[in-house]
Chain A
Amino acid sequence: KEEKQRLRKEKKQQKKNKEKNDEKTSHEGEKKKNKKKKEEQPAVPAPAPPPPAAAAVPVPASEAPAPADKPAKSKADLKAERRARQEAERASKGKKGDVGQPAPTGKLKAPPSELQPVVKRLPEHVQVDNPEVVKKLAKKLERQQIPLRSDYGYKVSLFSHLHQYSRKAPLTQQLGIPSTVIHPAIVRLGLQYSQGIVAGSNARSVALLHAFQQVIRDYTTPPNEELSRDLVNKLKPYISFLNQCRPLSASMGNAIKYIKKEISNIPSQCKEEEAKIKLLNCIERYINEKIVLAAKAIAKYSIEKISDGDVILFPPNCSFNAFEKKRKFRVIVVDSRPRLEGREALRRLVQKGISCTYVLISAVSYILPEVSKVFLGAHALLANGYVMSRVGTSQIALVAKAFNVPVLVCCETYKFCERVQTDSFVSNELDDPDDLIVTRKGKTQLEHWQKVPSLGLLNLVYDVTPPDFVDLVITDLGMIPCTSVPVVLRVKNVDQ
């Protein structure tokens, strides 16, 4: 009965949203649909709402669509609204009564409102220590017929709120063959993510977009369904699956947001073939503009900053290597265990004929006196100016600051995200702890770490660098200081 109610509500909402034919509202509508589902679910098993941050909090909507949405609610919506409002008021300060519910799992965030207070629900993957959230996720995945990945190994208590998976137990082992829910391209992609075959922010985004292109090519609209709505629904289980394989990155989140927006913008009278071609072109253009051309623009700006005779230091996640041979410089590549991604970068640089030096990150304070500039890559740029990047980046920036060496960060604008974070604990990714085990001279010290109760291995993936360590950020829009990131975000949102 609950399900029927929900479906009825959904249909009503969709009809109203379609009448508006406003980008923003349909976007919101999709979000509201998602949140409606989530809202109903907790209402069934637990009458009391889940405590932390769970108070249904209004999604900040920009001014224009928000008042327009208000009258278009059914009675059930209003009831839910009232409930949500009560919870919201109970939890924190009063807000405007928008029923919009917080984002689903993954990093989809609504555009920030300048005037309304913004309180978002936390994504699931940083609430692993909250059993109710875990239960909710399990239910959702069950509905979508995606297996739930279980944590592995002893987790350090500081990080008990994060997942820790083992690479040896990929999610695909629990899937049947053939899997009816998940497209094979997505299954392959998920496996590549979880095994680390596709790694790096740009590579993962591009692979994701290509996989979605494949999905769209193979998609056929079932009868009595709209392409714009149905395709988005089809994508949701895929996104959950990919999230289970490896938590989505900020760039992937932005890409997914873009795709969903494009899909929901397809007018209903558009024919299927046309729609598909349009979507494929959209994705192609996104990849081209935001990733490929952006990298070239960044390279162009960076070349201006490199002078002859420079010695440049960079850790391997700096993804651009479009070095032209206009300048003579030397490169020092800094690498760190356990991933040792620097060796690949080293190979590429040596092939281009650049003279290189290779050290481990513990030798950075030895090598820094001879370095003139430090280039860093970024995984994401947060709205408070912090740079989220591969673990070790903040360390290099710290030591560079101590030796007065300028630090430049290269980052495409599609990696900017509205999250804020001040330390590396609250939101991070824990990699397989077995990676830390090393065998030297036939002896493996940590071989039986699982058996020792008080021993834990911590394999962090990301860390955040404070903006006072960073001197300049080079983006495809130009060279900006770290603190201008929210300005760029705002400009982007206004454009959209």
Chain B
Amino acid sequence: MRRRHNHPDVVPNHFHRQHTHTQTPSCPVSPLISSRFYTTTMPAPDKEIDLTERIEAFLSDLKRGGSGTGPLRGSAEMARETTALLRRIAAQARWSNAGDLMEIIRTEGRRMTAAQPSETTVGNMIRRVLKIIREEYARSRGSSEETDQQESLHKLLTSGGLSEENFRQHFAALKANVIEAINELLTELEGTTDNIKMQALEHIHSNEVIMTIGRSRTVEAFLKDAARKRKFHVIVAECAPFCQGHKMATSLSEAGIETTVITDAAIFAVMSRVNKVIIGTQTVLANGGLRAVNGTHTLALAAKHHSTPLIVCAPMFKLSPQFPNEEDTFHKFVSPHEVLPFTEGEILSKVNVHCPVFDYVPPELITLFISNIGGHAPSYIYRLMSELYHPEDHEL
């Protein structure tokens, strides 16, 4: 993290250096930088440069952190940081009306998602904040939220220009309201794991055998909370090649839970003795399917074959309005070195090696989603999505 003091003499040089450093052809110029030339007072550029720095630092973190060896930070942290950054933008950037703010956030958001497309939590948080801004604006205007949201056919036909124009009105209290709402969002984010944990005892009874795959902090907390009162057995599939399951197993066994580590190849073999499968996921897609760590689809198929319920513990910030229909952009690959190391010699050049990181799990294989607002069936996900995000924000 580069942190420079806001020394007046250093500012111009530093700014130019940073400008050339991080400017990539694909990244559009941040509106904050271009707006610098319109400032006249000294403190404002400091704040803006500080903000710019933070954004650039965040972006480079995103780019570096996605090497596939497991997230350097969990999704929850990522969500919190994104939201905190967005709050800072709302607080420190220069905007006069809601439309400006939304434009700024949208542009920054596009850069962030472009930096690491597989980290969907970032995009989700941006869309949440955009929805918050819309709501606050609507509230300030005094119109009820219901009438605005319902886009009836009649309204589509009669009102030609849409709400785009509406966001240009200036409200003095809007900034404070938006920041307060984002604070609420942050509080909600902080409490997600606890909310999910509290539901553990409803789903796990004694002497159960539970299977999980890889490492998910949510599932870990879930199981540890249930272990305080109930005794059960956990089987962890290690999830090659990164073997995140090992860390999960050590952590669970330290909490006193009977844990067994199995290889990925043994998933179907032991599934007949498993009572429940509880997994975490990287993203919940708009159709109720999952984008989870590789090997999860096999696990889901095995569970379906044995009619074992598959429970997904996913907080609401993982819900993404994407659909899984783009084959090329859905998957993420990492270095095949993990699968076939360079020590294998001359056959490397003659062989194709694949190392996908994620798997798509269709919604038919999932029994239940447990999130911080309770449990839902996969068929309900579309409704939750319409509550969290505005349809116009689905494409940033």
Contact = CB atoms under 8 A, between A and B. Distances in A.
Given A338-B263, A460-B269, A445 B298 contact: no
A343 B295 CA distance: 20
B305 A445 contact: no
Contacts of A158: 270, 273
A357 B261 contact: no
12 contacts: A337-B238, A366-B354, A366-B356, A394-B269, A395-B267, A398-B301, A398-B305, A425-B272, A446-B261, A452-B253, A454-B256, A459-B263
Given A336-B263, A337-B263, A358-B340, A395 B351 contact: no
Contact of A455 (B239, B253, B351): B253
A100 interface: no
B266 A463 contact: yes
B90 interface: no
Interface of B: 69, 233, 235, 238-243, 246-247, 249-250, 253-254, 256-270, 272-273, 294-295, 297-298, 301-302, 305, 331, 339-340, 344, 347, 350-356, 359
A356 B359 contact: no
B297 to A, nearest CB: 4
A214 B94 CA distance: 90
A457 B258 CA distance: 11
Given A337-B264, A446-B249, A357 B352 contact: yes
Contact of B294 (A335, A363, A395, A424): A363
Contacts of A361: 240, 264-265, 295, 298
B263 A455 contact: no
A445 B264 CA distance: 17
Interface in A402-424: 402, 423-424
Q: Which of A336, A358, A449 has the most CB of B within 10 A?
A: A358
Contacts of A346: 347, 351
Contacts, number: 163
A365 B270 contact: no
A392 B271 CA distance: 12
Contact of B261 (A366, A367, A436): A436
Contacts of A199: none
Contacts of A391: 263, 265-266, 269
A398 B354 CA distance: 21
A362 B331 contact: no
A391 B261 CA distance: 15
Given A357-B354, A366-B354, A445 B265 contact: no
Contact of B353 (A355, A357, A394, A395): A357
Contact of A424 (B249, B270, B344, B350): B270
A398 B268 contact: yes
A398 B272 contact: no
Nearest to B345: A347
A350 B262 contact: no
Nearest to A392: B265
B115 to A, nearest CB: 24
A455 B350 contact: no
Contact of B259 (A398, A436, A440, A456): A456
Contacts of A457: 260-261
Interface of A: 156-158, 335-338, 343, 346-347, 350, 355-367, 390-392, 394-395, 398-399, 402, 423-425, 436, 438, 440-441, 445-446, 449, 452-460, 463-464
A445 B246 contact: yes
Nearest to B267: A395
A350 B260 contact: no
Contacts of B238: 337, 436
Contacts of A347: 347
B72 to A, nearest CB: 13
B302 A395 contact: yes
Interface of B is mostly: mixed
A451 B258 CA distance: 13
B301 to A, nearest CB: 5
Q: Which of B238, B258, B268, B347 has the most CB of A within 10 A?
A: B268
B41 to A, nearest CB: 49
A210 to B, nearest CB: 30
Contacts of B350: 350, 355-356
Contacts of B258: 454, 456
Given A424-B269, A454-B253, A399 B261 contact: no
Contacts of B295: 361-363
A325 B7 CA distance: 73
Contact of A454 (B257, B262, B355): B257
Given A336-B264, A356-B352, A463 B269 contact: yes
Nearest to A395: B268
A427 to B, nearest CB: 12
Contacts of B270: 158, 424, 458, 460
Q: Which of B239, B242, B350 has the most CB of A within 10 A?
A: B350
A343 B348 CA distance: 11
Given A337-B240, A364-B298, A423-B272, A458 B262 contact: yes
Contacts of A394: 268-269
Contacts of B69: 441
Contacts of A423: 272
A81 to B, nearest CB: 40
B124 to A, nearest CB: 24
A135 B41 CA distance: 91
Nearest to A368: B297
